[in-house]
Amino acid sequence: MMKHLQADSKGRITLGAKYAGALFLEIEKNGVITLEKAAIIPERELWLHKNIDAKKSVLKGLKQAKKGTLKLNAIDLDKK
């Protein structure tokens, strides 16, 4: 779907609340501007999305927590 919008006197185009904070803007050399819906992942969390085993483990733990079936750690962390 193509929609034509006109910028206001300050060069702004209103897209509406539906798109607030959820767009990635790309401006190409030929002047074409592309807006694409995107989810931003903080850099400090990116490792988890790249490490499949760690992500599976975290998702498993979250599922267990939701069900109330967490396994207690038998290691005494206070013991030296």
pTM of the full predicted structure? 0.46
In a domain, 76, yes or no: no
**Is residue 78 included in any domain, yes or no?**
no
Residue 29 domain boundaries: 22-69
Number of domains in the chain: 1
Within-domain flag for 28: yes
Q: What is the pLDDT of residue 74?
A: 62
Average pLDDT over residues 45-67: 93
- Percent of the chain whose pLDDT exceeds 70: 92
CB 39 within 8 A of CB 22: yes
With beta carbons less than 8 A apart as the criterion, state whether 60 and 50 touch.
Answer: no
- Token readout for 64 is 């267990």
The reply to whether 1 falls in a domain is no
Residue 7 lies in a domain: no
Answer whether residue 9 is part of any domain. Answer: no
Instruction: Look at residue 6 and tell me if it is in a domain.
Output: no
Helix (H) and strand (E) counts in the chain: 2, 2
42 inside domain? yes
pLDDT of 23-49, one tens digit each? 888 899 998 988 888 888 899 999 999
